[in-house]
Structure 1
């Protein structure tokens, strides 16, 4: 089939016209490639991280060291995805996408070294973000992140559940 740019283009899921270098709070979700439960499993509503999950945890924690303009908020690693809050402190520095790209690249590189599978995808191509605009939204999102392991069986990203994503 011949390439047709009107038919075969990937649409951005970012908010059109929004400046993602702007200071603010962002709720992030990043999914594992094909939603494989690579990062651990949930036992009695608690996430038990695999070795790969430990790699992800380490790489998440060092984001704020790599990017001085970033502070990290609530965060959870689920078996096949992560949720976290990222705060960009000042406007005009690295965009949110650069922070996520760096995290995904460093964690992928280490996981693939451990799996001896260089070049194999670990993360899905994109990530989901929600701009946190007020304290009510922030509190609701933090509660969701904290309670995510409790509702794993009903989660749309659980491998046994049909996903809308």
Structure 2
């Protein structure tokens, strides 16, 4: 998920604190969820959310949640990962989300972080982009690959297309993306 305008709000310790705090609290608000790797990088974040539902019943089965052996668990135990998106990568706009879906979870997360960051930090204009990218992880190999990608994301920041000073940006893009948190007052 990216910040609105790709502003580098997460360079600020208090903004980063709230973003991480409420991310870690997602399973408390949604008991059918476990978190995998996550990383906040200047103006965006990556994270793995696993939604577990027992396919034999309509209630959520917490004991079948994916933890350290994530990815393999849903195959071995017969649990299914539930998501409100098709199997392919999809650009998702979280409107009218089904309760408990990835869209609803992220909508709630964005709402609480936006409210607290605006209230408790100097960034009264903090906001998230409306949409986000999601992907259904199908097996342990893919889970491991995506985890490595997330864990290495900060190291790749210099070459990241979301980095306004990356050599991958044109002069016009750098100028437009040049809104850094300390320049927004």
Normalising to structure 2: TM-score of the pair?
Answer: 0.63
Q: How many residues align?
A: 125
Unaligned runs of 5+ residues in structure 2 are: 59-98, 171-185
**Greater helix share, 1 or 2?**
2
More strand, by proportion: 1
Runs of 5+ unmatched residues, structure 1: 1-29, 41-48
* 1:81 counterpart = 2:44: yes
Answer yes or no: is the 8 Å Cα contact 1:38–1:50 preserved in 2: no
Greater C-alpha radius of gyration: 2
Are 2:89 and 1:103 aligned? no
Distance 1:81 1:87 in 2: 20
Residue 149 of structure 2 is aligned to residue 144 of structure 1:
yes
Which one of the candidate residues 128, 131, 135 is aligned to 2:136? 131
Detail structure 1 runs of 4+ shifted over 2 Å in the superposition.
114-118
Please provide the CA RMSD for this pair.
Answer: 1.9
Asked if residue 36 in structure 1 is aligned to residue 7 in structure 2, the reply is yes
Alignment of 1:18-29 (within 5 A): none
**Relative contact order, CA 8 A, sep 6+: which one is greater?**
1
Following superposition, the deviation at residue 114 of structure 1 comes to: 2.2
